[in-house]
Amino acid sequence: MYLPDEIEKYLLALLPALGVNKLRELSRLVYEICKRENAAPQAVVPAQKNLTFEGVKKQLLARRYPVNFKTAQKNRFYLPKLDLDPALRADLTVRPFYPKTVYIEKSVADSELSDRARAAFPKANFKETDGKTQVGSPNFSKRLETLFIHREKYDFLKPCPCSCAAAGCGYNLINLGFGCRFECEYCFLQQYQNLHAVLLPANVEEFLAKIDGASFNKGPFDRPRIGSGEFTDSLVFDDVTRYSQKIVPFFRARPHLQFEFKTKSVNIGGLLQAGGCENVVVSWSVNSAKITDYAEHFTPQLSARLAAACQVARAGYRLGFHFDPVVIYDGYQPDYARTVQEMADTLPNDKVAWISVGTLRFSRELKKMVENRFPDNTILDGEFLLDFDGKMRYGDGQRVEAYRFLVPLLRKAFPKAHVYLCMEDPQITRGFLL
Ligand code: SF4
């Protein structure tokens, strides 16, 4: 991999009069092309007479964005400064989740969750806190060293924020926790989480009590949907929290609603103990093997996720799946088709309630975080453009092509499931409504 300094030095040798902004744009383009093509800067911009900034930039844009260069407006190419700090690289050594310090807010010191944490992590350093003291590490990669058990006071139940100007689906959220022990390269928590610890609320009953007083929009579904898993994986800590033991009976008594656990884990012991429930949907995020194996670090493989899905279906739960994020790379379609086939061959078809599809998207800040934490990633090699909501997405044509390929395949394999697009431009979503 070529470092920004080396690239800048080379470009300044070719074009000594480059100002700061022009150097930034060309360095960014050369860096991304070198990384994707495993090429040297000298091969990307060969030394020759009469080079100009405009000529080099045009040639680099055409090479970096071969699909979109001719059609996309030029202000949609995002060329920020290369800001790489090796200290931010993610630690990918396999380790169990075992926090060094567990902070427990005084008001929940006697809670069931606090007792469970004391039993699960006897060697951790337990500290009581008033809840006002800042806990956690300044480094996101060290977030698993601290567990903070607290009483949630404000953020109980809310409509899914979706994405500004995207087509919503009427989803509602309860945030049972913050932080995750998996390391998905595209995870927005890397950029979003500012308290670098795992936070788990001890007052789940208060979250559930809010649901009884609320009114919901069911959107295009048969019943309103409420889920957890916005700021954490819904089940990744369930062996410690056993939230499932409280959530499942609550919804069993309220069949007019449905609850969704969203996970990549196979941590289903609590669900199996709680017994099945028709209006509880256990959803797995699924992807092509290339993405699950190389971009979703520490997560179970697709086959393990599907085996867990079969187990919970046999116990009486319904299933959901999220093809999210779909990553577009050379040969992605046969890879995703293989995933759909594996699902069709494995899963009880009539138990699949819904499947969402969404292509990879991210904020500008997250892009910087991903390239720092995972400098060898391939997920950023695609052609991302600034989009309608300020996020970066593949161009409309590439997204529509991905949906035209995947949505009919899923509808054919799972005819009873509701297949829908997630966080998409309403104009694109309209073309895929049933
Ligand atoms: S499983 Fe979800 S919450 Fe956990 S790292 Fe992956 S994307 Fe983030």
* Per-residue model confidence as pLDDT tens digits over 96-106: 999 999 999 99
- 334 and 208 in one domain? yes
Final residue belonging to a domain, choices 48, 66, 82:
82
Looking at ligand 1, which residue's alpha carbon is closest to its atom 6?
184
Q: Which residue has the tokens 């959803």?
A: 283
Q: Is residue 242 part of a domain?
A: yes
Residues spanned by the domain of 290 = 157-187+201-430
Identify the CA nearest to 431 among candidates 392, 380, 395, 397.
397
Residues 210 and 358 in one domain: yes
- pLDDT at position 2 over 80: no
Amino acid 429: pLDDT: 78
In a domain, 87, yes or no: no
Q: Does residue 88 lie within any of the structural domains?
A: no
- Residue 287 confidence class, pLDDT cut points 50, 70, 90: very high
Separation of first and last alpha carbons in the chain: 46
Determine the pLDDT at residue 132.
76
Please indicate whether residue 193, judged by its CB atom, sits closer than 6 Å to ligand 1: no
β-pairing, 258-263 vs 280-286, is: parallel
Q: What band does 218 get if pLDDT is binned at 50, 70 and 90?
A: confident
The residue whose CA has the least distance to atom 7 of ligand 1 is 187
Q: Which of 182, 66, 199 is nearest to 135 (CA)?
A: 199
Q: Is 305 in the pocket of ligand 1 (CB under 6 A)?
A: no
CA 409 / ligand 1 centre spacing (Å)? 26
Question: How remote is the CA of residue 296 from the centroid of ligand 1, in Å?
Answer: 8
CB–CB of 347/302 below 8 Å? no
Q: Establish whether residue 187 lines the binding site of ligand 1, counting it when its CB lies within 6 angstroms of any ligand atom.
A: yes
User: Looking at residue 166, what is its pLDDT?
Assistant: 57
Mutation test residue for ligand 1: of 144, 176, 178, 184, the one with most atoms within 8 Å of CB: 184
Amino acid at 110: D
Task: Identify the three-state secondary structure at position 108.
Answer: helix
Instruction: For residue 98, tell me if it sits in a domain.
Output: no
Distance 263 CA to ligand 1 centre (A): 8
The yes-or-no verdict on residue 260 having pLDDT over 80 is yes
Last-in-domain residue among 82, 104, 129: 82
Among 17, 52, 82, where does a domain finish? Answer: 82
Q: Does 235 contact ligand 1 (Cβ within 6 A)?
A: no
| Residue-wise pLDDT tens digits, 107-119 | 999 999 999 999 9
Our answer on whether the CB atom of 387 is closer than 6 Å to any ligand 1 atom is no
| Sequence-ordered list of residues with C-beta below 8 angstroms from that of 227, at least 6 positions apart, any chain | 171, 172, 173, 174, 234, 259, 260, 261, 262, 283
CA-nearest residue, atom 8 of ligand 1: 187
Cβ–ligand 1 contact at 347 (below 6 Å): no
For the chain, the residue count is 434
R_g over Cα of the chain: 23
Distance of CA 405 to the CA centre of its chain: 22
- The residue type found at 105 is E
Nearest alpha-carbon partner for 171 in 67, 290, 52, 257: 257
Position 214 in a domain: yes
Q: Is residue 248 very low, low, confident or very high in pLDDT (cuts 50, 70, 90)?
A: very high
Mean pLDDT, rounded, of the chain? 93
Per-residue pLDDT reduced to its tens digit, 355-366: 999 999 999 999
Q: At residue 164, does pLDDT exceed 60? A: no
Per 3-state DSSP, the chain is made up of helix, strand and coil in percentages (nearest 5) of 40, 15, 40
Q: Between 159 and 234, whose confidence is greater?
A: 234
Mean pLDDT (whole number) for 252-258: 96
Measured distance CA(35)–CA(359) in Å, rounded: 22
Q: Does residue 171 share a domain with residue 51?
A: no
Q: Which amino acid is at 294?
A: Y
Question: 283 CB less than 6 Å from ligand 1?
Answer: no
Q: Compute CA distances 388 → 124, 392, 394, 432, whole Å.
A: 46, 9, 12, 19
pLDDT over 70 (residue 165):
no
Please choose from 140, 181, 189, 374 the residue to mutate so as to test ligand 1's pocket, defined by most ligand atoms within 8 A of CB. 189
Task: Say what the pLDDT of residue 94 is.
Answer: 86
Contact present, 143 and 193 (Cβ < 8 Å): yes
pLDDT band at 48 (very low <50, low <70, confident <90, very high): very high
Q: Please give the Cα distance from 401 to 394 (Å, whole number).
A: 11
Q: What is the Cα–Cα distance from 199 to 120, expressed in whole angstroms?
A: 16
Amino acid at 251: F
Looking at the structure, tell me whether residues 176 and 62 fall in a common domain. no
Same domain, 61 and 167: no
Q: Is the pLDDT of residue 217 over 90?
A: no
Same domain? 254 vs 344 = yes
Among all chains, which residue has been given the structure tokens 């004391």? 118
19, part of any domain: yes
> What does the angle CA 362 – CA 368 – CA 371 come to, to the nearest 5 degrees?
100
- Give the mean model confidence (pLDDT) for residues 387-411: 94
Distance separating alpha carbons of residues 147 and 144, to the nearest angstrom? 7
Q: Taking Cα atoms as reference points, which of 58, 30, 61, 55 lies closest to residue 43?
A: 30
- Mutation choice for ligand 1 from 92, 264, 286, CB with most ligand atoms inside 8 A: 264
Mean pLDDT of 228-251: 95
So what's the pLDDT on residue 168? Answer: 60
Nearest to 249 by CA among 285, 204, 307: 204
Is 70 inside any structural domain? yes
Q: What single string gives the DSSP state of each residue in 291-337?
A: HHHHTEETPPPHHHHHHHHHHHHHHT-EEEEEEEEE---TTHHHHHH
Ligand 1 pocket check for 182: Cβ under 6 Å: yes
| 262 in a structural domain | yes
Helix locations, 45-194, DSSP H: 53-64, 112-120, 189-192
3-state SS class at 22: helix
The answer to whether 382 touches 306, Cβ cutoff 8 Å, is no
- Rounded Cα–Cα distance for residues 51 and 334 (Å): 41
Ligand 1 atom 2 nearest Cα: 233
**Tokens in use for 194?**
């500012």
Q: Are β-strands 146-150 and 125-129 bridged in parallel, bridged antiparallel, or unpaired? A: unpaired
DSSP string, 348-362: -GGGEEEEEEEE-EE
The CATH number assigned to the domain holding 324 equals 3.80.30.30
Number of domains in the chain: 2
Whether 324 is in the pocket of ligand 1, judged by its Cβ within 6 Å, is no
What's the whole-number mean pLDDT along residues 295-313?
A: 98
Q: Cα–Cα distance between 30 and 11 in angstroms, integer?
A: 9
User: How far is 34 from 6, CA to CA, in rounded Å?
Assistant: 12
Residues 174 and 71 in one domain: no
Report the atom number in ligand 1 closest to the C-alpha of 189.
Answer: 8
